[in-house]
């Protein structure tokens, strides 16, 4: 599904922004789609132009843009700053703002105040929060207030210390069943989609069959309704070892290195700027 085809497919005005209902309709039609993370206006505008229907301003911001070791230190104000930029860049795509650690774990009313800021100040159309269990009540509270909520289960990075590292979740039967039950509870509470991160493919398939709203996988196998990747991972901008689930579709680190080296050597050699670059 692209922004434009989904809109046309739904019989709506061409160019209408993507809504949560378009995503549900895509699942009903068996049409797979992608979500990509975005953190600034330029990349958001490009993704939008390319017809990517959902842009996630992930709290991965902390690790891929802000230089933190985990997503734990990311603040709501940092998320809002980048969500505003992405919202300015996106014309059609659904912008989802991640609620960072500490901005919703206190309960439904804290979740509501943070989510309201994400929509009013960040310009997002929806929020994402991590976890099942107690987050089901927060999800229902936000949905009652008219705020679309995307759930996130499996390896939820804000719980990295509880997991003892970035580890695959749901390996044993009990843990797998728990993830499926949490997904059903989130969907019953009104979540419009559920991200499944780093879980065995069987869980991706079971959850996708169990709920009517789209599942968006990242390391959850081939059977989810959609796939999400982090911009930097997808484009080969991430240095070092990548999780097994990442596929880099380009090697932009190499491209950028080549360009910077050429700039350095042309300046050193007096080759740049040439007459054509000079007033």
Q: Does 207 bind ligand KIV (CB under 6 A)?
A: no
228 binds ligand KIV (CB under 6 A): yes
Q: State which of residues 6, 18, 23, 37 lies at the interface with ligand KIV (CB under 6 A).
A: 37
Q: Could you say which of 20, 34, 38, 58 contacts ligand KIV (CB under 6 A)?
A: 58
* Alpha-helical segments (H) within the chain: 3-9, 20-29, 41-49, 61-64, 76-89, 108-120, 135-144, 160-163, 173-188, 201-210, 231-234, 252-268
Q: Name the token pair of 229.
A: 């990747």
Instruction: For residue 191, state whether it binds ligand KIV (rule: CB under 6 A).
Output: no
Q: Least Å distance between CB 243 and ligand KIV?
A: 10
154 beta partners = 197
Instruction: Using CB under 6 A, pick the residue from 195, 198, 211, 213 that binds ligand KIV.
Output: 195
- Are 76 and 103 spatial neighbours (Cβ–Cβ below 8 Å)? yes
Q: Taking a C-beta distance cutoff of 8 angstroms, is the pair 85, 39 a contact?
A: yes
| Residue among 127, 142, 218, 220 that touches ligand KIV (CB under 6 A) | 218
Please pick, among 31, 197, 255, 276, the residue that the annotation labels catalytic.
197
The answer to whether 219 contacts ligand KIV (rule: CB under 6 A) is: no
In the complex, the smallest distance separating the C-beta of residue 74 from ligand KIV, rounded to whole angstroms, is 9
Q: How many residues does the chain have?
A: 279
Shortest Cβ 55–ligand KIV spacing (Å): 11
Q: What is the DSSP letter of 59?
A: T
98 binds ligand KIV (CB under 6 A): yes
Q: What distance in Å separates the CA atoms of residue 238 and residue 246, rounded to the nearest whole number?
A: 11
From residue 148 to residue 167, the character string flagging contacts with ligand KIV as x (rule: CB under 6 A) and all else as - is ----x---------------
Q: What tokens appear for 43 in the block?
A: 């990349």
Active site residue 197: yes
Nearest to 54 by CA among 25, 18, 26: 18
> Which residues are at the interface with ligand KIV (CB under 6 A)?
37, 56, 58-60, 98, 152, 195, 197, 218, 228, 230
């Amino acid at each position: 599904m692209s922004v434009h085809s989904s809109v046309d497919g739904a019989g709506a005005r061409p160019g209408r922004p993507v809504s949560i209902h378009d995503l549900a309709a895509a699942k009903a039609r068996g049409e797979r789609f992608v979500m990509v993370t975005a953190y600034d206006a330029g990349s958001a505008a490009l993704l939008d132009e390319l017809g990517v229907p959902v842009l996630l301003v992930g709290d991965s911001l902390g690790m891929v843009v802000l230089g933190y070791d985990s997503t734990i230190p990311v603040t709501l104000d940092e998320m809002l700053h980048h969500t505003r930029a992405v919202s300015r860049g996106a014309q059609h795509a659904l912008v989802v703002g991640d609620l960072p650690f500490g901005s919703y774990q206190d309960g439904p009313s804290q979740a509501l105040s943070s989510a309201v800021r994400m929509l009013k100040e960040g310009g997002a159309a929806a929020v994402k929060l991590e976890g099942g269990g107690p987050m089901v009540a927060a999800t229902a509270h936000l949905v009652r207030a008219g705020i679309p909520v995307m759930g996130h289960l499996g390896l939820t990075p804000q719980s990295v210390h509880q997991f003892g590292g970035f580890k695959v979740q749901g390996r044993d039967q009990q843990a797998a069943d728990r993830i499926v039950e949490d997904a059903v509870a989130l969907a019953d509470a009104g979540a419009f989609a559920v991200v499944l991160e780093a879980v065995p493919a069987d869980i991706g398939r079971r959850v996708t069959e169990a709920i009517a709203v789209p599942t968006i996988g990242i390391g959850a196998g081939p059977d989810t309704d959609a796939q999400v990747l982090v911009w930097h991972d997808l484009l080969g901008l991430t240095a070092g070892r990548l999780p097994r689930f990442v596929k880099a579709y380009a090697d932009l680190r190499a491209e950028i290195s080549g360009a910077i080296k050429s700039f350095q050597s042309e300046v050193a050699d007096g080759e740049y700027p040439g007459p054509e670059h000079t007033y």
